[in-house]
Amino acid sequence: MFEQLDVLPADPILGLMALHQQDPNPNKVDLGVGVYRDEQGRTPILASVKAAQQRHHEAEATKAYIGPAGTEGFVSATQTLLFGSEHAAVRDGRVVTVQTPGGCGALRVAAELIGRCNDAATIWVSDPTWANHVPLLGDAGITIREYPYYDRNTNSIRFDEMMATLERAEAGDLVLLHGCCHNPCGADLTPEQWQAVATLAVKRGLTPFIDIAYQGFARGLDEDADGIRVCADTVPELFVASSCSKNFGLYRERVGSVTLVASDTQQASAARSQLISVIRGIYSMPPSHGGAIVDIILNDVELRRQWTDELGAMRDRINELRRQLVESFNRKGAEGRFDFIARQQGMFSFLGIAPEQVQKIREASSIYMLSSSRINIAGLSRHNLDRVTGAVMSVL
């Protein structure tokens, strides 16, 4: 059987991880892997998470399955995070949420449901988008097409071209949108642009599919959900894939959810039953631990306050690093070339240098980034920032 298999090339990010781990240079810098890091280069366990874990450990009385949809506390708290406490769609019973193994699980479960709804479905994704969007959605049999999004020459959104392309999309198509902190480019839609996209979706019969993996990392929890709420106010149907990996620091716990908004309660009920069926056929039940931590934090006033403070500190650190990175480049003679970085949001930005320059920097300075020049801003610190900008300037 296995003699029929070929060895596949390593995933670019996983391959970069391996190269970094093997590098003996004590001053090596990892700007590739997309996890939050503090000033010491660690991915910390939040104090609110530690407190919730202790509370859960003391209260947990069983290891029985939690059911394919996840726990009610997690589900209701997630809906509040995404839509706010008084959104009409939630109040009217048109919103369905199920817990999944991370945001990846959410994307794949949604894709499988989309295939049941329309076996000829097409999802439009941004150029560029997160690389794993394509296999997660495409391997479920969904056709993938691209719409223009990021202009690497001006470091801005190609919004007019994006809208012109989506004007040609067919009724029944879906449009994958990054809720905030676009990965990999860091350039986000404005509230006005979100409204324009939602209005176009109604006009063309398109369904928005919003992937929000970094809620709270751009402007704030409510502000970062603007796009979701605008779409839920405007379109009859909506998909949302969300993750707790970044904003709760629960990477290895794999906590996420898929949410849909239906036109009415009858359709919502039918869609929920189909989601449960999809889940049963893939992994049967979601893991419990991470979702229980999120449930405890979001439903406890003091722990929620502590968590939002910690999330705010992570957000502020990333925004300050963006400002410092631009200042460091300009001190070294960049003359505003990288000023766009301070205007972008979240953990990622492109530096706009060629793959050969990226490789030269890695070989000369042990600074690791993707060949596209996408960097993880959170991998910077006061200890390495000037060395990074110096290495980049040396190849320009």
Encode pLDDT of 132-144 as tens digits.
Answer: 999 999 999 999 9
Q: Which of 229, 232, 259, 227 is nearest to 243 (CA)?
A: 259
Q: Categorize the per-residue pLDDT at 269 as very low, low, confident or very high, splitting at 50, 70 and 90.
A: very high
40 and 179 both lie in a single domain: no
Q: How much is the pTM?
A: 0.95
In a domain, 294, yes or no: yes
Which band of pLDDT confidence, cut at 50, 70 and 90, is reported for residue 33? confident
- The CATH number for 344's domain is 3.90.1150.10
Considering the domain architecture, whether residues 244 and 152 belong to the same structural domain is answered as yes
Classify strands 156-157 and 255-261 as parallel, antiparallel or unpaired. Answer: unpaired
Judged against a pLDDT cut of 80, whether residue 307 lies above it is answered with yes
Q: Is the pLDDT reported for residue 366 higher than 90? A: yes
Pairing mode, strands 122-127 and 174-178: parallel
Among residues 269, 299, 329, the one where a domain terminates is: 299
Residue 10 confidence (pLDDT) above 90: no
pLDDT of residue 59: 94
What does the pLDDT read at residue 18? 85
Classify residue 311: in a domain, yes or no: no
Please indicate, yes or no, if residue 38 is contained in any of the structural domains: yes
Residue 56, pLDDT score: 96
* pLDDT above 90 coverage of the chain, percent: 94
Same domain for 340 and 271?
no
By DSSP bridging, strand 174-178 and strand 207-212 are: parallel
Indicate whether 183 and 108 sit together in one domain: yes
**Residue 301 pLDDT level (bands cut at 50, 70, 90):** very high
- The reply to whether 337 falls in a domain is yes
Rounded distance, CA 187 to CA 203, Å? 25
User: What residues make up the domain containing 79?
Assistant: 65-299
pLDDT grade for 9, boundaries at 50, 70 and 90: confident
Judge if 119 and 146 occupy the same domain. Answer: yes
What band does 58 get if pLDDT is binned at 50, 70 and 90? very high
Domain total in the chain: 2
- At residue 190, the 3 state secondary structure works out as coil
- 128 and 21 in a single domain? The answer is no
Handedness of CA 163, 169, 171, 176 (dihedral sign): negative
Q: Is residue 144 part of a domain?
A: yes
Q: Which residues of 245-256 are buried (b: 16+ CB within 10 A; e: fewer)?
A: bbbbbbbebbbb
Q: What is the pLDDT of residues 70-117, one digit of tens each?
A: 999 999 999 999 999 889 999 999 999 999 999 999 999 999 999 999
The answer to whether residues 175 and 256 belong to one domain is yes
Q: What angle do CA 141, 145, 151 make, to 5 degrees?
A: 145
Tell me whether residue 92 is in a domain: yes
The pLDDT value given to residue 11? 80
Same domain, 239 and 379: no
Give the count of beta carbons closer than 10 Å to the beta carbon of residue 50.
Answer: 12
Kindly report the average pLDDT of the chain as a whole number. 96
Which residues are known to be catalytic? 130, 211, 246
Domain membership flag for residue 51:
no
- 254 shares a domain with 113: yes
Query: What's the rounded Cα separation, in Å, for the pair 99 and 106?
Result: 8
Shared domain check, 81 and 32:
no
163: pLDDT strictly greater than 90: yes
Could you tell me the CATH number of the domain that includes residue 295?
Answer: 3.40.640.10
- The pLDDT of 3-28, averaged and rounded, is 86
Query: Which of 272, 299, 326 is the last residue in one of the domains?
Result: 299
Asked if 374 and 239 sit in the same domain, the reply is no
Q: State whether 278 and 362 are in the same domain.
A: no
Among the listed residues 294, 379, 103, the one whose alpha carbon sits nearest the alpha carbon of residue 214: 103
End-to-end CA separation in angstroms for the chain: 50
Q: How far apart are CA 184 and CA 206, in angstroms?
A: 24
Within a domain: 304: no
